């Protein structure tokens, strides 16, 4: 099948390229814009308590909304605010309110904190209903400019924080990060391919091809998101860019290495490309299939952010695969050997001393290689038990110098940490009887006595008196472990059990959302992980025609996942002193390490099977697979790990953790699992690795071991 595909593409290059251009133009012209959201509540299904609270609040208090932003005032010298300072704050708030800044509905100053170190003014803004709506962000920009003018020349300093300001700063940080990631990714690919092939033509090939199809990928994702109403998280764009360029370059690299090999075997350029597609087509397709399946397993997630992430990344990988097998061969067939210009190295078989020596050593002592590489993975994997999730995404998504971050910290000097985003307790009558004031007063006192609660505001009662909203300020920051523990047990239990007769209570707010996120993540761990693993094992079984090999291949991938998580725990929790890792990192890391790690295992084992079918004993086949495929896996691993590592340059903790973890996981997959552990274990298991089929026999049924030892010696030792 792949030989026929290669022949059609290679012998009709202009038709193939023209068809691609038509598809790109059609998709880009008709696709809706790819939108993203930063509202975490949008990712949870309606049966969670935090979402039920939000829905009840919207029904009972349609006009009520929490302040979109907060103006935070402190003295420039850090001293307590005087009465004159407080009067200035009130005056400034009044002037800003009178300025009628577009989409700012009202600004109301509140009394200074008890220690008089901080005073705030609450800002109401036009409500945003669309993730692409920049109304509040634009208002924050204008408000910041006006606020700076008002405090100039006074003893005060002030800034804007709160939800709207955080979204603005996150967006700007994300755009800056995207630019940095894009530039770093392109430069890295260019430099590495120049080093590997010594040709600017082949170095530019992935950039041009993937850049040309990137619009198609975004368009297809936009179409799917619109049809199925998927909520795209704002971090997806960064991941998508890296996946498309990283994975796409890997597939092109696999093809070009085999193309160069066939040229060296004496085939003409067109025949060599057809042979290359025929030889690596099945391996690349199986590898991409494993990645796509792993990503698509996310549609089983409880969380909307993952249900959208899975199809988005699957589409990117699928398009990269099709381009690698049905566009790149067309382009290369037009260029012929000029694709390697000006280098002439493609004409000569390299000595391959380094990988030849590694393969020879493995062929002699596979047990030692299996124990050492497996032991390294196991040692790092033990450290994964120290993983602790954190939900502090707002500060992690912006730099420490962002205004919203700076003034959130200033706010904590005089206000309880929970004041930034209070929790909500919604009380609702189930009998149709109006709520009684005495009941509400008593219930408020009960809530205020809950450990971890700083204060409870007087309830807001709906017009029909069937619902009441208690604003609960927690002692701790809303995303902290302490706040989540307060909401999970004492606050929810008390709110439910102590609700007056004939009423029910639900707890809402961002802390409640994060509590529900934790529960949803536990569900996803139990469902998504095993489903992805089972489906990938089916792909491996079909590719290798074996029921044995998939088990130890997946075992190696699981070890790689644990080792990667352990490395991230050491770096970010122990060395950097962070309270934890972003809560969804294990899911993202699992999918990337499992899927992309399987890529390299498939490539190595497919070549190992090819060598076995050529007549080599298991140890010889493993050694030759490392000798011939080792350079490809190493180059692909460096490029892909490097592209993900570029996320660490984005300037925020969330992308830094993701970039580090995924790049380390890919490096482990390429240089430990695929290079050492997998071929060593396959060599130890021998013929039984292919049971019950005959994956190590050629199409004529010839078993391995027919070659003479002299030929083995030539391959294994002549270039060492």
pLDDT in tens, 472-513: 999 988 888 889 999 999 999 999 999 999 999 999 988 898
- Indicate the DSSP class of residue 122: E
What global pTM score does this model have? Answer: 0.73
Phi-psi region of 59 (alpha: psi -120 to 50; beta: other; left: phi over 0): alpha
Residues 6+ apart with CB under 8 A from 98: none
Per the structure block, which two tokens stand in for 341? 């210009």
CA-to-CA distance for 209 and 326, rounded, in angstroms? 11
Given this model, what pLDDT does residue 88 score? 93
Helical ranges in 545-650 per DSSP H: 549-568, 585-613, 618-645
Unique residue bearing structure tokens 């390490």: 593
The per-residue pLDDT for 234 is: 55
Task: List pLDDT tens digits, range 241-250.
Answer: 777 887 888 8
**Rounded distance, CA 324 to CA 354, Å?**
29
* 285-312: average pLDDT: 81
pLDDT, tens digit, for every residue of 669-719? 888 988 899 899 988 888 888 887 655 555 444 444 443 333 333 333 333
Number of other CB atoms surrounding residue 477 within 10 Å: 22
DSSP codes of every residue in 179-209: HHHHHHHHHHHHHHHHHHH--HHHHHHHHHH
Residue at token pair 């795209």: 232
The H or E element containing residue 305 is helix 304-326
The mean pLDDT value of the chain amounts to 82
Span 356-382, average pLDDT: 88
Q: Which of 15-24, 144-153, 512-521 shows the lowest per-residue confidence on average (mean pLDDT)?
A: 512-521
What residues contact residue 110 under an 8 Å CB cut-off, 6+ apart? 119, 120, 121, 122
**Mean pLDDT on 349-360:** 72
Residue 396 pLDDT class (50, 70, 90 cuts): low
Per-residue pLDDT tens digits for 64-114:
667 788 899 999 998 999 999 999 999 999 999 998 898 888 899 989 888
Higher model confidence: residue 285 or residue 393?
A: 285
Q: How much is the pLDDT for 220? A: 86
Q: What pLDDT digit, counting tens, does each position of 263-279 carry?
A: 888 888 899 889 888 88
Determine which of 103-107, 176-180, 340-344, 704-708 has the lowest per-residue pLDDT on average: 704-708
Buried b (16+ CB within 10 A) or exposed e, 428-448: bbeeeeebeeebbeebbeebe
First and final CA of the chain: distance in angstroms?
A: 38
Decide: 296 and 309 in contact? Cβ < 8 Å: no
**254 is written with which tokens?**
């696999």
**Residue carrying the six token digits 């041009």:** 208
pLDDT at 85: 92
Residue 579 reports pLDDT greater than 80: no
Instruction: Report the C-alpha gap between 638 and 32 in whole angstroms.
Output: 35
Comparison of pLDDT for 517 and 150, the residue scoring more: 150
Q: What are phi and psi of 547, to 5 degrees?
A: -105, -5
What is the pLDDT at residue 697? 56
Lowest-confidence region among 94-103, 393-402, 413-422: 393-402
Measure the CA–CA gap between 533 and 274, rounded to whole angstroms. 33
Average pLDDT estimate for 412-427: 85
Q: Which residues 6+ apart lie within 8 Å of 211 measured at CB? A: none
Q: 212: cis peptide before it, omega within 30°?
A: no
69-75 β-sheet, strand order: 104-109, 119-125, 69-75, 156-161
Tell me the per-residue pLDDT of 276-289, one tens digit each, with 9 for 90 and over: 888 888 878 887 88
Question: Is the confidence at residue 207, as pLDDT, over 90?
Answer: no
Q: Minimal CA–CA distance to 483: which of 473, 493, 469? A: 473
List own/partner pairs for 221-227 with CB under 8 A and 24 or more apart. 221/34, 221/311, 221/312, 221/315, 221/316, 222/31, 222/32, 222/33, 222/34, 222/35, 223/27, 223/31, 223/32, 224/311, 224/312, 224/315, 225/32, 225/34, 225/35, 225/308, 225/312, 226/32
């Amino acid at each position: 099948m792949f030989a026929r595909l290669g022949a059609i593409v290679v012998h009709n290059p202009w038709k193939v390229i023209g068809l691609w251009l038509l598809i790109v133009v059609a998709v880009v012209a008709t696709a809706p814009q790819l939108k993203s959201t930063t509202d975490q509540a949008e990712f949870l299904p309606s049966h969670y308590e935090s979402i039920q609270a939000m829905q009840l609040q919207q029904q009972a208090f349609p006009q009520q909304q929490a302040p979109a932003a907060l103006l935070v005032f402190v003295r420039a010298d850090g001293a307590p605010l005087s009465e004159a300072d407080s009067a200035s704050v009130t005056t400034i708030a009044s002037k800003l309110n009178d300025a009628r800044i577009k989409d700012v509905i009202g600004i109301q100053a509140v009394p200074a904190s008890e220690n008089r170190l901080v005073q705030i003014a609450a800002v109401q803004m036009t409500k945003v209903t669309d993730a692409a709506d920049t109304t509040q962000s634009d208002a924050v920009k204008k408000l910041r400019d006006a606020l700076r003018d008002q405090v100039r020349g006074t003893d005060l300093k002030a800034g804007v924080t709160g939800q709207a300001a955080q979204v603005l700063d996150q967006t700007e940080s994300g755009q800056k990060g995207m630019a940095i990631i894009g530039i770093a990714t392109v430069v890295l690919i260019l430099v590495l391919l120049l080093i590997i092939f010594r040709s600017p033509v082949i170095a530019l090939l992935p950039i041009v091809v993937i850049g040309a199809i990137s619009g198609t990928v975004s368009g297809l994702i936009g179409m799917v998101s619109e049809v199925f109403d998927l909520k795209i998280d704002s971090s997806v764009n960064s991941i998508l860019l890296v996946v498309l360029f990283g994975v796409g370059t890997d597939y092109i690299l696999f093809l070009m290495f085999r193309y160069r090999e066939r040229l060296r075997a004496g085939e003409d350029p067109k025949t060599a490309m057809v042979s290359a597609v025929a030889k690596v087509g099945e391996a690349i397709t199986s590898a991409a299939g494993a990645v796509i399946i792993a990503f698509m397993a996310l549609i089983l997630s409880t969380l909307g952010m993952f249900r959208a992430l899975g199809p988005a990344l699957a589409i990117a990988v699928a398009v990269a695969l099709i381009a690698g097998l049905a566009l790149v061969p067309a382009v290369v067939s037009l260029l012929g050997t000029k694709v390697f210009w000006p280098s002439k190295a493609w004409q000569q078989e390299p000595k391959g001393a380094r990988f030849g020596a590694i393969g020879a050593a493995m062929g002699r002592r596979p047990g030692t290689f299996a124990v050492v590489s497996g032991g390294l993975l196991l040692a790092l994997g033990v450290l994964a038990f120290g993983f602790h999730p954190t939900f502090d995404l707002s500060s992690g998504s912006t730099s420490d110098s962002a205004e919203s971050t700076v003034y959130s910290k200033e706010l904590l000097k005089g206000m309880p940490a929970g004041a930034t985003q209070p929790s909500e307790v919604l009380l609702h009558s189930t009998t149709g009887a109006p709520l009684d004031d005495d009941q509400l007063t008593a219930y408020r006192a009960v809530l205020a006595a809950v450990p971890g609660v700083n204060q409870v505001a007087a309830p807001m009662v709906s017009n029909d008196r069937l619902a009441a909203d208690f604003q609960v300020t927690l002692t701790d920051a809303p995303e902290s472990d302490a706040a989540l523990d307060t909401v999970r047990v004492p606050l929810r239990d008390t709110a439910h059990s102590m609700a007056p007769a004939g009423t029910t209570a639900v707890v809402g707010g961002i802390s409640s959302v994060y509590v529900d996120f934790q529960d949803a993540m536990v569900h996803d761990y139990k469902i998504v992980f095993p489903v992805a693993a089972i489906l990938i094992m089916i792909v491996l079984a079909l590719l290798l025609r074996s029921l044995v090999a998939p088990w130890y291949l997946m075992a190696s991938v699981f070890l790689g996942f644990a080792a990667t998580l352990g490395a991230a725990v050491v770096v970010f929790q122990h060395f950097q002193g962070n309270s934890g890792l972003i809560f969804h990192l294990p899911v993202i890391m699992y999918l990337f390490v499992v899927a992309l790690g399987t890529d390299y295992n498939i490539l190595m084992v497919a070549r190992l099977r090819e060598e076995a079918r050529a007549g080599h004993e298991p140890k010889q086949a493993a050694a030759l697979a490392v000798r011939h495929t080792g350079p490809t896996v190493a180059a692909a691993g460096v490029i892909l790990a490097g592209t993900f590592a570029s996320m660490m340059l984005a300037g925020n903790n969330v992308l830094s953790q993701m970039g580090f973890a995924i790049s380390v996981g890919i490096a482990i997959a390429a240089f430990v699992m695929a290079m050492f552990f997998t071929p060593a274990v396959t060599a130890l298991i021998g013929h039984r690795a292919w049971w019950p089929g005959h994956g190590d026999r050629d199409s004529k049924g010839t078993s391995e071991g027919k070659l003479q030892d002299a030929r083995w010696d030539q391959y294994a030792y002549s270039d060492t």
